[in-house]
Amino acid sequence: MPTPKTIDTAGLRLEFTRHGEQALATALKTLAALPNKAQDLVSKTVLNGSENRPAWHVLSRLGAKGLDAPSQAAADFLQAEFTRMADWVDQRVEEAGAEGLDIIHLGAGGSETPMLALHTALSVLQTPRCRVHWVANLDGATIDAALAAAKPERSWIIINSKSFRTQEVMRNADIALRWLGDGIGTDKARQRLVALTANAELALQRFGLPANQIFRSLPEIGGRFSLWSAHGMVLLLAFGRETVTQLHAGAHDMDQHFLSTPLESSAPGLMAGLSHAYRVRFGLPLLSIGLYGDAFSRMPLYLQQLLMESLGKSTSADGMQPVHVSGPAVISGVGTPVQHTYFQLLHQAAVPVFHEIVAVAHPWHRHLREHMALLANALGQADALWNGKDASSWQTELMAQGMSPEAAARAAHHRACPGGRPSTFIWMERLSAYHLGALLALYEHRTVVEGWLYGINPFDQWGVELGKTLATKIENALLSQNAQGLSPETAASLDYLRTHSN
């Protein structure tokens, strides 16, 4: 089967024209041999082996259907919960009237980064109908600033945590609840808490929340894939049911493409296959993702989390074998400013980097000439990366400008760009909720397939969990001033803190 050079689906066009034939052939061969199937994502098949669970994030899209009774039951539950949540949101917004709502959104990782990325992008198109104050960090200044910008009498606190054990979220929830209680009274403050979680029992235990203040996801949906479930409530609050339904529609259409197309011919499959080829066959360690337009300003952190938390593994999916090559390190930024940060590395570093570029064909503002210039920059970078400009061409050009042959030869080597840096160009027809939904689903599917190609589990993150466990132990040592049981390196750091932290 010939490798497609362009793929059009769900309002996106992917151009694979800036890849070499060897890379494309390698991608095609590995994808054709992959035993995993896209349909596994909408069935009871256990895909997250380390936690013995299916992976059901696709079933949280509106209109999704399962292939068997357990997966269909999950789809029914998730979509019913979405309707309940949307009805609840509509009622709260109506009650708030012209003054609107202050939403204190407490999340971390996958309970914050994709929602913030989409909130930023959609805010370019539609004025949010409530004020969202984002808090993810344990830095106390962050929550102080969020609470200072909100008014207690019109505030709701959203506790967004799949496990309801995330340290940052629970600590910030305690601070926010005290603040709200000081402003409107303790009993009323507890009526202004909402939990978004797969652990309703713990939400009830910790805060005494009744069922109508808890909106549930499922343990089978990983945090970084969870924005389509109850965890995405903040988007309903900010933009309403119609916009979020369009977001789901774009993702659902990308799902249908993915589920109905052979992996070697699908957009997510080919992206994954190429990334895998560059890592395994060509040994390239770094992927760059450039997104053109400030609407994407919060997207890089989300894409970095999605890809590196999913693909940063060194053990096979069954836990039995070491894996010597897995996903790339990911750098990402927004064009054109990102061109002035790390793009020098892309063009002239000794080790090549592979690249993905996202751009929007139709402007979302009235400045057509500037939009054309933005797109020209995106295309210019892609062409420069792929075609380059050798020293001989530079020397001829510099001599034509009057430089001596010796000086031109020296200068030419500094200016030479070798080219051969591959890139996939991803066009969105326009900036809209629908196209954003399709883009995020594209990256979700691409990430999953790439994990399958490496033979790893893209749905767990045990490295992150270890760091959290050690942080709790170290905090206890800090408070007790007893470093017993800590590593020598950390004990030495605590000695420093004892004399400098007050």
Q: Is the dihedral of CA 137, 143, 145, 146 positive or negative?
A: positive
Residue 235, exposed/middle/buried by CB under 10 A (0-12, 13-18, 19+)? Answer: buried
**Measured between alpha carbons, how far is 180 from 178 in angstroms, rounded to an integer?**
5
Structure tokens at 157: 């606190």
Contacts of 70 (CB under 8 A, 6+ apart): 44, 54
**Measured between alpha carbons, how far is 81 from 88 in angstroms, rounded to an integer?**
10
**Measured between alpha carbons, how far is 130 from 123 in angstroms, rounded to an integer?**
11
Residue 469, exposed/middle/buried by CB under 10 A (0-12, 13-18, 19+)? Answer: exposed
- 3-state SS of 145-199? HHHHCCCHHHEEEEEECCCCCCHHHHHHHHHHHHHHHHHHCHHHHHCCEEEEECC
DSSP secondary structure letters along 104-124: EEE--GGGTHHHHHHHHHHHT
CA dihedral 269, 298, 93, 181 (to 10 degrees): 120
For residues 14-48, b (16+ Cβ closer than 10 Å) or e, as one string?
Answer: bbbebbeeebbebbbebbeebebebebbbbbeebb
Structure tokens at 494: 């605590």
Q: Which residue has the tokens 């979220």?
A: 169
Are 105 and 134 in contact by the 8 Å Cβ rule? The answer is: yes
H runs (alpha helix) in 15-166:
21-33, 69-96, 113-123, 140-148
CA dihedral 290, 296, 301, 304 (to 10 degrees): -40
Contacts of 487 (CB under 8 A, 6+ apart): none
Q: Which residue has the tokens 């954003």?
A: 436
Residues taking part in catalysis: 309, 340, 468
Identify any residues that bridge with 135 across adjacent strands, giving them in sequence order: 106
